[in-house]
Amino acid sequence: MKKLWMLLLLFPFLVSAKPQTDTTYRCPPCGNTCDNVSFSKAGTCAHCGMTLVSKQEKDSITAQKKISICFYLYDGVEVLDFAGPMEVFSYAGFNVFTVAKTKAPLTSQGILKINPDYSIADAPPADIFAVFGGDDNVTTNDPEVIAWIKSRDKATQSYFSVCTGAFILGKAGLLDHLQVTTFHRSIANLQSAVPSAKVLSNVRYVDNGRIITTAGISAGIDGALHLVAKLKGKDEAKRIAAHMEYDKYQAEQGLIVR
Amino acid sequence: MKKLWMLLLLFPFLVSAKPQTDTTYRCPPCGNTCDNVSFSKAGTCAHCGMTLVSKQEKDSITAQKKISICFYLYDGVEVLDFAGPMEVFSYAGFNVFTVAKTKAPLTSQGILKINPDYSIADAPPADIFAVFGGDDNVTTNDPEVIAWIKSRDKATQSYFSVCTGAFILGKAGLLDHLQVTTFHRSIANLQSAVPSAKVLSNVRYVDNGRIITTAGISAGIDGALHLVAKLKGKDEAKRIAAHMEYDKYQAEQGLIVR
């Protein structure tokens, strides 16, 4: 009986001596404000749809090296060309940043005024280099930018182009002897610009391993989902497509060159 | 015979006296750099796919009042929510401009830094007022912006929301007693926020005449194509979808409330 009284008296101290653990749940990093919210129960985030994880798991994910992707933008870049993939890669947890020739504001689609994160003078390296269509001759006719793209080649694991962004990769000598695609009205022109390549029409994207080129404008969404499927699995690509309500998504709609 | 000689001598003067007409062809206004290019033959523009018109026709189109659409943006706005419709309305020849609470740069999707064209202090009126999802509470919880939206109502012909942008229209009292939709994870929340509305799930967009609300993120593209079909005809919507290679486009996929 004395022992029981002793235990009862010690109870508050025994409880407080238990190590404190954070039992709340968090959204895995997705680049949205829900990154900063904690939840009292397990489940999915109502905002981004990702499965909630413990604080410890989140800290571990955050500590891992994220896949980085450089979005090279220029005056006259087509807005959906880059915005579709930006949406996809953001939800895949990639580190997406924008680069232009200079840090001066640029205009997309004659409408949207954008401040790039970096210029070619200070852009960090990235795992993936992405280019987009529109007035691509602004870039293909700029030897300084083409030389800069070439200079980053050793540090770049892979390339991703949407629409006539393929002309930029072509000018940098990256499409030689590959099967590639571009905007449907530019198939013949790209074939002339890169005679050694085989330019395909009627394909949503072509994946050569290191280099993915997609068809025009909205096809960038499918190409980006394909890249996510390749790097993070098909389930992750399907989750993102469902979250974006891209309900017409068809996996493996492109050509994968092996 | 004398008359014939007279005519032959006068021939160069008769020819030069003929009124000079510009026989080149132009791209109808589309907001891209091809707006500034002239073509020697009739046909379609290789850049934007629009059927070329004579200089006189182009001048006539330019002189017509364009449909204007205000894209209201805010910190945390979802990038594809607005970029998909921006692409569509740009090719439909609408006058698209961006407005935010202030002219300070804002960040979309935690990535894209944007300079809005106008603030709520100097934004011109627009035929259509468009709002988008993301961290929409930045706007729904801002009485100054909600009051500004209400103050423009008489000058606004119609409203267009994508994803959780519907919460902003709801807060401005614009969705009362209507059938509406929103992001798939926010159906119940919008129903709580606007009890008199009927919030529908599994519909790509709902058109109430003056007010169109779309489902989440990529559904904005379908809603925008529907609005173009309504204002400029189904052929124009199909032409734009084909140009964007939005090859899974299905016309009339939404609900039109009559």
- Could you give the domains of chain A? 20-63 (no CATH), 65-256 (3.40.50.880)
Tell me the average pLDDT across A76-101. Answer: 96
- Name the token pair of A10: 């010690």
DSSP B185-240: GGHHHHHHHSTTSEE-SS-SEEE-SSEEEE-STTHHHHHHHHHHHHHH-HHHHHHH
* B45 contacts B34 by C-beta, under 8 angstroms: yes
Q: Between A and B, how many CB-CB pairs are < 8 A?
A: 133
Higher pLDDT, B24 or A85: A85
Tell me the average pLDDT across A4-16. Answer: 49
Choose among A249, A184, A189, A180: nearest CA to A210. A180
Choose among A115, A136, A155, A131: nearest CA to A70. A131
- 3-state SS class at A140: helix
Q: Does the CA dihedral A195-A197-A200-A204 come out positive or negative? A: negative
Structure confidence by residue, pLDDT tens digits, B143-179? 999 999 999 999 999 999 999 999 999 999 999 999 9
- Residues of chain A with C-beta less than 8 angstroms from the C-beta of B80: 83-84, 86-87, 244
Give the nearest partner residue to B110 out of A31, A111, A247, using CB atoms.
A31
Burial class (CB in 10 A: 0-12, 13-18, 19+), B77: buried
Cα(B88)–Cα(B83) distance, integer angstroms: 9
Which pTM was predicted?
0.84
Is pLDDT at B252 greater than 80 in this prediction?
no
Q: Cβ neighbours of residue B247 under 8 Å, at least 6 residues apart?
A: A218, B241
Interface test with A, best of B33, B44, B80 (most A CBs within 10 A): B80
Q: Is A53 left (phi over 0), alpha (psi -120 to 50) or beta?
A: beta
Give the nearest partner residue to A184 out of B98, B217, B245, using CB atoms.
B245
Cα(B152)–Cα(B201) distance, integer angstroms: 29
pLDDT averaged over every residue in chain B: 87
Structure confidence by residue, pLDDT tens digits, B2-50? 555 554 555 444 444 445 567 788 877 665 667 777 888 888 776 666 6
Amino acid at B184: H
Q: How far is B5 from chain A (nearest CA, A)?
A: 53
Amino acid at A37: V
Structure confidence by residue, pLDDT tens digits, B94-107? 999 999 999 999 99
Query: Which secondary structure element, helix H or strand E, spans residue B70, and what is its range?
Result: strand B68-72
Q: How far is B209 from chain A (nearest CA, A)?
A: 24
**ipTM exceeding 0.85, yes/no:** no
Give the nearest partner residue to A84 out of B31, B80, B112, using CB atoms.
B80
Structure confidence by residue, pLDDT tens digits, A227-247? 999 999 999 999 999 999 998
CB contact (8 A) between residue B217 and residue A246: yes
